[in-house]
Amino acid sequence: MTASLGVVTPELIPFETPLVLERGGSLPRYDLMVETYGTLNAKKSNAVLVCHALSGDHHAAGYHKSESNKPGWWNHYIGPGKCIDTDRFFVVSLNNLGGCSGSTGPLSIDPETGKAYGPSFPEVTVLDWVNAQARLADHLGIEKFAAIVGGSLGGMQALQWSITYPERVGTAAIIAAAPRLTAQNIAFNEVARQAIMRDPNFFDGNYADHDVIPASGVGLARMVGHITYLSDVSMGEKFGRSLPRADRDAEGVNFAVEQYLRYQGEQFSGRFDANTYILMTRALDYFDPTLNESIPLPQVLSTTACKFLVLSFTTDWRFSPSRSEEIVDALIQAGKPVSYTRLESAHGHDAFLIPDATYERIFKAFMDRVHQDLGGNA
């Protein structure tokens, strides 16, 4: 029997030691907004790090008091008796640097100017996030994670952890991810960024000085992104060519799918910062542990020391199964232990977020083995 975590409370953790960034510059200090679930055992060996994707944050499971009807983004998979069982594991989830949900980012005050960073916030990369996460682990007294888990951009962080801190990762679950973006994926991100930057209210990223937000541009960016997260099958099943309600005709909406995309864009633009969106998509574009193929991926992965689970979804065309299989093939060539499943799903890239019986069974079996490796019972 599974249960909800109930109400959870995030914690803002300050770090006063400067963080040197991969693409230049540094942050003299920073804060990370963190949620934890479950109990860290006496050996501090049962910790699981959950890494979020592009628009995710620290709120992965449970509920906040102010939003009792809105669970965390991976609530189906984290909690008592669930895949990531909080009766067994101590789960750590954070909002990455550059985010807009409490961690230091463009909305934060620059200590040197006394004003919000805005567009002057330094570029961050997946490696920077992983380094900040390692400092968080140090703060929590966690020397090694039993598992590091993530989907999409979160899976890239799990992969980076296995490369950068091999001795600190017991297992890594890389779900619906890729070893680096294709030109097409970078192009989608650039279209989204241009939608934001061409909004008249963007003001070169200084929109806060004008007391406005580039809502139209952020909404359009979300609409473009959302199309790539769904599959043709799921969009057909959900909307087909059906018409919207009669009372929406006045807004020039001709089909239900248009109504849905506009709603998604409007909701997103009210909660997600434009400068953060640009930063996050750039970090996604920059991710490439092969350094533009100057080092073969099997060689890059040769120093990893953990067991891997890699999962992909058949209708995911943003990060197609072939991209996950690049990781799997490289791990096999490097002689590393890896389990791989290509899951049947109609939900496209979003499938890693959606409840599915087969996905859940495989994911839970993997986490059961992690628990057994810690000396627990099946």
What are the domain boundaries of the chain? 11-180+288-373, 185-283
Residue 99: φ, ψ to 5°: -75, 180
Q: Token pair of 285, please?
A: 């574009």
The closest alpha carbon to 54, from 296, 363, 368, 285, belongs to 285
* pLDDT value for 241: 83
Of the chain, the end-to-end C-alpha distance in Å amounts to 15
Tens-digit pLDDT string for the chain (378 aa): 467 899 999 999 999 999 999 999 999 999 999 999 999 999 999 999 999 999 999 999 999 987 777 899 999 999 999 999 999 999 999 999 999 999 999 999 999 999 999 999 999 999 999 999 999 999 999 999 999 999 999 999 999 999 999 999 999 999 999 999 999 999 999 999 999 999 999 999 999 999 999 999 999 999 999 999 999 999 888 888 877 666 555 567 778 888 889 999 999 999 999 999 999 999 999 999 998 889 999 999 999 999 999 999 999 999 999 999 999 999 999 999 999 999 999 999 999 999 999 999 999 999 999 999 999 864
| C-alpha distances in Å from residue 284, one per residue of 207, 287, 321 | 24, 6, 18
- Give the helix ranges, DSSP H, for 203-295: 215-229, 232-238, 256-269, 274-286
Taking each helix axis from N to C end, the angle separating 274-286 and 126-140, rounded to the nearest 10 degrees, works out to 100
Superfamily of domain 11-180+288-373: Alpha/Beta hydrolase fold, catalytic domain (3.40.50.1820)
Half-sphere exposure of 185 (CA within 13 A, CB side): 23
- Whether 316 is a known active-site residue: answer yes
100-127 in b/e form (b: 16+ CB < 10 A) is bbbbbbbbbebeeeeebbbbebbbbbbb
User: Domain 185-283: which topology?
Assistant: Rna Polymerase Sigma Factor; Chain: A (1.10.1740)
- The catalytically annotated residue of 58, 76, 226, 349 is 349
- Whether 349 is a known active-site residue: answer yes
At which residue do the structure tokens 């750590």 appear?
92
Q: pTM (2 decimals)?
A: 0.95
List Cβ<8 Å contacts ≥24 apart for 198-202: 199/274, 202/274
- The catalytically annotated residue of 152, 269, 324, 345 is 152
Q: How far is residue 298's CA from residue 335's CA, in Å, rounded to a whole number? A: 9
- The catalytically annotated residue of 57, 85, 316, 356 is 316
* pLDDT value for 313: 98
